[in-house]
Amino acid sequence: MQKIVLVEDDPLLIDIYSTKFREAGFQVAVVDRGDAAADRVTKEKPDLVVLDIVLPQKDGWEILKSVKSNPKTKNIKVVILSNLGQKEEIEKGMGLGAAGYLIKAHYTPSQVVKEIRKILQEESPQA
């Protein structure tokens, strides 16, 4: 069973996405604070991280940099799921090593699951 760490602070979205991911056959761990995310990713060693950008304590950019700079977690795929949809933000996320950038308003939860499945099937880039 593939494991996802969902980093999201909105309780409603946590409920929706964690339910959708579980229904799709994923094991899900949830982190609702930015300052706990990188440690949780290191501990859980998930197949993929679904990462919001706007979070309490530490934002998603810092978490993405931390995950991608840690030798233990640098090959874990990270998909940004955010309402920040400016071209610069998408380019920043991809430039920092995200495997995908999904704008919340543009995808239903079912479409997010479909995109994540696609990303998980792609070969990991060699580090």
Question: Residue 46: is it exposed, middle or buried by C-beta count within 10 angstroms (0-12/13-18/19+)?
Answer: buried
Contact 59, 33 (CB under 8 A): no
pLDDT in the model for residue 122: 81
Query: Would you say residue 10 has pLDDT above 90?
Result: yes
pTM of this prediction?
A: 0.94
Contact 40, 29 (CB under 8 A): yes
Give pLDDT tens digits for 12-56. 999 999 999 999 999 999 999 999 999 999 999 999 999 999 999
Domain ranges of the chain: 3-121
Give pLDDT tens digits for 55-102. 999 999 999 999 999 999 999 999 999 999 999 999 999 999 999 999
Query: Would you say residue 127 has pLDDT above 50?
Result: no
pLDDT in the model for residue 108: 97
- What pairing do the DSSP bridges indicate for beta strands 100-103 and 77-82? parallel
pLDDT in the model for residue 126: 44
Residue of 25, 75, 82, 11 whose CA lies nearest to 50: 82
Residue 45 phi, psi (nearest 5):
50, 60
Query: Would you say residue 125 has pLDDT above 70?
Result: no
> Which DSSP string do the residues of 9-26 spell out, in sequence order?
--HHHHHHHHHHHHHTT-
Domain 3-121, classified CATH 3.40.50.1860, yes or no: no
- What span, in angstroms and rounded, lies between the C-alpha atoms of 79 and 116? 8
